[in-house]
Chains A and B, each alone.
Chain A
């Protein structure tokens, strides 16, 4: 069974640009969550989707958005990039309930210059 796939692995963008990150969950998983990881703030929850519906959103500005498609693949978008958006963005997939394992991808390393 293939794991969670995130593309691209690395990305360099300029301030003010926008970026789209992609996540393909494990086959059969319908829940996809996104997390931002930085040295200063650690791991922070961005949002969670299930069956194309956003069920929860973390405390991030509106520049951060996401969506999920009918095949459970998910994308997150960051508009008007700021230097502080430089981070490792991690995607996790899982079953509907929290009492099961969340499987993480290797992440997308975004650098904003």
Chain B
């Protein structure tokens, strides 16, 4: 069965510091991988996606993620966080055969001034 694990429920970083959010997945085939961000009381906004090709993908708001097949990981990174990045981040796996997204539990990012 497909699954997504985000091992960190909360992460606190100082403004200006670098960020890495972890995501591990379990999926039999080559996955479609996504990172979404959710601000309080809001819907989900896509940050970036991986389908194939270059394993380092660039997204919006200065985020990037690297697909590592050997580690079944798709970690999200940002070199310097801003206070406006405080939100909850979700990693998801797309299952084309079932037309659904499987979600991680989310990581809440807290920014220290």
Residues of A within 8 A of B (CB): 4, 31, 33, 35, 42-45, 48, 50, 55-56, 58, 90, 92, 97-99, 101-107, 109
**Does B74 sit within 8 A of A, measured CB to CB?**
no
Which A-B residue pairs are the 6 nearest by beta carbons? A104-B43, A43-B103, A98-B94, A98-B96, A104-B44, A45-B100
Is there contact, CB below 8 Å, between B43 and A33?
Answer: no
B70 to chain A, nearest CB (A): 22
B37-67 CB contact bits vs A (8 Å, 1 = yes)? 0000111111001010000000000000000
Chain B residues in 8 Å Cβ range of A56 = 98-100
**Does B32 sit within 8 A of A, measured CB to CB?**
yes
Q: A43-B90, A99-B94 are in contact. Are A48 and B100 (CB under 8 A)?
A: yes
Residues of B within 8 A of A (CB): 32, 34, 36, 41-46, 49, 51, 90, 92, 94-96, 98-106
The answer for the CA separation of A33 and B44 in the assembled complex, in Å, is: 13
B71 to chain A, nearest CB (A): 22
Is there contact, CB below 8 Å, between B46 and A98?
Answer: no
